[in-house]
Amino acid sequence: MKIIKTKKKFLTNIYINNFFNLKNIIKNKNKFLILDYNIYLLFFKKIKKELKKFNFLIIPFGENFKNINTLKIIWKYMIKKKINKNYLTIIIGGGVLGDILGFVCSSYFRGIKYCLLPTTLLSQIDSSIGGKNAINFFSKNTIGNISNPNFIFINFNIIFYMKKKEFFDGYSEIVKYSIINNKKFFFFIYKKNNLQKIITRSCYIKCKIISQDYYENNYRTILNLGHTYAHCIENNKIIKYSHGKSVTIGIVFFFFFSSYFYKININILKKIFFLFLKFKF
């Protein structure tokens, strides 16, 4: 098991492994399990018996459910089941579920313990790290806060159950990390496809950046490379693009627009575009 231990107390430890062995990590007797509906369908036969031991809730996946109505349903259920500060809430799902439940847990009883088990590449290397929680209210991520889980547990093998489109979404963020922070990492993903090392390094890069600017007052904004254009593309109601594809287009457009004002080495641009084309964006 690889553990990324963060220097700052407010950042959480990240456990990276190829299986969900939580017995040594989760010591709470009282557990409240929240599942992404997509994960529930995929692993229903394996987890059917285990679910009977927990209070559990299954949430639909997708950006359409990232709203205040979903919050009300979850809060109401938690109050009805008498979930309190003695419980550990275990969240298994993608980035949308992590955003919603992070906000729920950080506001319920002024904050309860919770942990994240991200199940998509995008959530594993990006949205689960940094403590950003939000819902959409008239616009994307309008209402939210910054609150970290007790820990993050990443199972990189679960990615092989993902759809290709979901994998591409995460890959665009990996390319972004290599551009903004680490030249060696850029050439590593340019030549090799070692998924475990790529995920571990991506998590480390994001933790390193966030530890220098936790509340996004200055340096942390570097993580938004291409995202200004990406959110405009993502909000297009006529042609719907995924977050990853929108980020890819946003980064490409950023370099194209920047080339009018700054000299950018064309060979570097070719390598960047090759990385995106490598997985047929």
d(Cα 105, Cα 276) in Å, to the nearest integer? 36
Q: How far apart are CA 122 and CA 63, in angstroms?
A: 14
pTM, two decimal places:
0.87
Shared domain check, 149 and 95: yes
Within 8 A by CB and 6+ apart from 120, the residues are: 94, 95, 159, 162, 166, 169, 170
Could you tell me the CATH number of the domain that includes residue 183?
1.20.1090.10
127, 160, 193 - which closes a domain: 160
Q: Are 113 and 54 contacting, i.e. CB atoms less than 8 angstroms apart?
A: no
What are residue 113's DSSP bridge partners?
88
What is the DSSP secondary structure assignment for residue 12, as one 8-state letter?
P
Q: Is the domain of 31 the same as that of 155?
A: yes
Q: Which residues pair with 33 in a beta bridge?
A: 56, 90
Distances 84 to 9, 52, 78, 158, 235 between C-alpha atoms, Å = 24, 19, 8, 30, 37
**Measured between alpha carbons, how far is 122 from 33 in angstroms, rounded to an integer?**
21
Residue-by-residue pLDDT tens, the chain, 281 positions: 566 656 554 566 787 766 555 555 566 678 898 998 888 888 877 777 777 777 888 998 888 899 999 999 999 999 999 999 999 999 999 899 999 999 999 999 999 999 999 999 999 999 999 889 999 898 888 899 998 898 898 888 888 887 777 888 888 899 999 988 878 888 888 888 888 889 999 999 999 898 888 888 888 889 989 888 888 888 776 777 888 888 889 998 888 888 888 888 888 888 888 888 876 54
Q: Within 13 Å, how many C-alpha atoms sit on residue 104's CB side? A: 31
SS3 state of residue 92: strand
Structural domain span for residue 7: 2-160
248 shares a domain with 169: yes
Distance CA 101, CA 32 (A): 12
Counting Cβ atoms within 10 Å, is residue 165 exposed (0-12), middle (13-18) or buried (19+)? exposed
Domain count, the chain: 2
